[in-house]
A and B are shown apart, each in its own frame.
Chain A
Amino acid sequence: AQSVTQPDIHITVSEGASLELRCNYSYGATPYLFWYVQSPGQGLQLLLKYFSGDTLVQGIKGFEAEFKRSQSSFNLRKPSVHWSDAAEYFCAVGATAGNKLTFGGGTRVLVKP
């Protein structure tokens, strides 16, 4: 069965500092990996996705993620966070781009001024 683990429940970061969110997955085949962001009371916005090819993926809002097959990881990074990046971030895995997704538990990011 597929699963996704986000080890960090909360992360607090100062505005302008770098951010890295961890994601580890368990999947029997080549996974389709996604990062979503959710603001309070809102739906999900897709930040980026990885299917194949270059293992460093660029997304929206200055985010990037790196797929490491050997570590079963797909960590999300941003070089310099903005106050507007405060939100909940979810890593997800699926069999295809349009298949049902298994989500990690989420990481809540707080940004200090």
Chain B
Amino acid sequence: GAVVSQHPSRVICKSGTSVKIECRSLDFQATTMFWYRQFPKQSLMLMATSNEGSKATYEQGVEKDKFLINHASLTLSTLTVTSAHPEDSSFYICSARDVVSGGQYFGPGTRLTVT
């Protein structure tokens, strides 16, 4: 079946540093990937839509200069949290849309803790 991986699964970083999270579609191509954020005991909120070869589309209230998204290939999208602060600590989940089937598949998530 369609598999999406995320790396790293957990990351701890110091306040003010940047951290990059990768989302890969392992056995299918994805021109579109989505990035969601989930705070503890809360639901998933869409942050942005990542489009291969073009700029990402950010949801209202999400700072595009803080959450940098790059989708340079059909199997990889990256989310970089710049100048991270403790309030950025969250569970980040990506999903990828299969260009052939149109189905959407979720990654296992990345737990970010900013100290």
Which residues of A have CB within 8 Å of B95? 101
Which residues of A have CB within 8 Å of B6? 43
Q: What are 29 residue pairs bridging A and B, where the CB atoms are less than 8 Å apart in the complex?
A: A36-B106, A41-B109, A42-B108, A43-B93, A43-B108, A43-B109, A44-B93, A46-B106, A94-B104, A96-B102, A97-B103, A97-B104, A98-B32, A98-B97, A98-B98, A98-B102, A98-B103, A100-B49, A101-B44, A101-B46, A101-B95, A101-B104, A102-B46, A103-B43, A103-B44, A103-B45, A104-B43, A105-B42, A105-B43
Contact of B106 among A41, A43, A105 (CB under 8 A): A43
Contact of B102 among A43, A97, A102 (CB under 8 A): A97
Q: Interface size class for chain A? A: 10 to 19
- Closest partner residue, chain B, to A104 (CB atom): B43
A100 and B102: CB pair below 8 A?
no
Q: Give min CB distance, B31 to chain A, whole Å.
A: 10
Instruction: Judge whether B111 is part of the interface by a CB distance below 8 angstroms.
Output: yes
A interface, over-half SS: loop
Instruction: Judge whether B34 is part of the interface by a CB distance below 8 angstroms.
Output: yes
Q: Interface size class for chain B? A: 20 to 34
**A-contacting residues of B (Cβ < 8 Å)?**
6, 32, 34, 42-46, 49, 93, 95, 97-98, 102-104, 106-109, 111
Rounded to whole angstroms, the CA-CA distance of A90 and B42 in the bound complex is 10
B interface, over-half SS: strand
A90 and B34: CB pair below 8 A?
no
**B-contacting residues of A (Cβ < 8 Å)?**
36, 41-44, 46, 90, 94, 96-106
Rounded to whole angstroms, the CA-CA distance of A44 and B45 in the bound complex is 13
- Scoring A46, A97, A98, A106 by chain B CB atoms within 10 A of each residue's CB, the highest score goes to A98
Which residues of B have CB within 8 Å of A105? 42-43
Rounded to whole angstroms, the CA-CA distance of A98 and B104 in the bound complex is 5
A90 and B102: CB pair below 8 A?
no
